[in-house]
Amino acid sequence: MFVAPLKFETGHLYLSLEGNEWMFDTGSPNSFGSIDSLSIDGEQFKLPAAYMGMDAEQLAASAGHPTCGLLGADTINAFDVLIDIEKQEITFSKEELTFEGASLALDAFMGIPLLDVEIGGESYRMFFDTGAQVSYFQHRSLQSFPPAGSLTDFYPGYGEFETETHQIEVRLGGQMMTLRCGGLPKMLAAGLMLGGAKGIIGNEILPGRVAGYFPRRKQLVLA
């Protein structure tokens, strides 16, 4: 088991490894960084310098926060992970962790987790993306929900984009939450369709609770 310091700043999660800060991003299939390898709980990982044309310097500029790189699904999914923003800790374990809370079944596409979300009595499949500072809902009804202002976001290989957001009540694992949801550009929305998803659940579900992300067991637990 390995416990690392965790920050939630500029709308993103950052963990500290060997004095370097890394963005924690379940929504990226691949990791990358300005150093070529790192070790987590005794596991060694080789890293490319960039992913889809984005390197650590560009990531830091887009996120507005210094970072050594990004930890994606190819690294994260080797572990059970506990995310505790209040304690500012993130735990990685090669062994199975026991954690009680509302359990959600996960599927995956290219290593990116998928879960079922209820909106307006209908069930929608969405990606769980800790690299997304807000959520996204690719549905014609988005405009009918209360407006929540515009937001500038970014995605590797695409760059920055602006979206108008809305407040949407969702049911996730039996819990009701109000999420700030935007709409994606057509090119990024096409990627959702490949995975059979209608949107993205971002990291806004994490503050105020502890989350257990167990990709090897296809499970997300929220407490």
Q: Is the pTM of this model over 0.85?
A: yes
> Domain segments of the chain: what residues?
2-93, 102-222
- Residues 16-31 have pLDDT tens digits of 998 999 999 999 999 9
- H-state helical runs in the chain: 56-63, 73-76, 186-194
- Which ranges of the chain have pLDDT less than 50? none
Residue 89 confidence (pLDDT): 98
CB 165 within 8 A of CB 148: yes
- The structure tokens listed for 74 are 């190819």
CB 184 within 8 A of CB 136: yes
| Distance from C-alpha of 118 to C-alpha of 112, rounded to nearest angstrom | 20
At 42, the amino acid letter reads G
Residue 199 confidence (pLDDT): 95
Largest CA distance in the chain: 49
CATH homologous superfamily of domain 102-222? Acid Proteases (2.40.70.10)
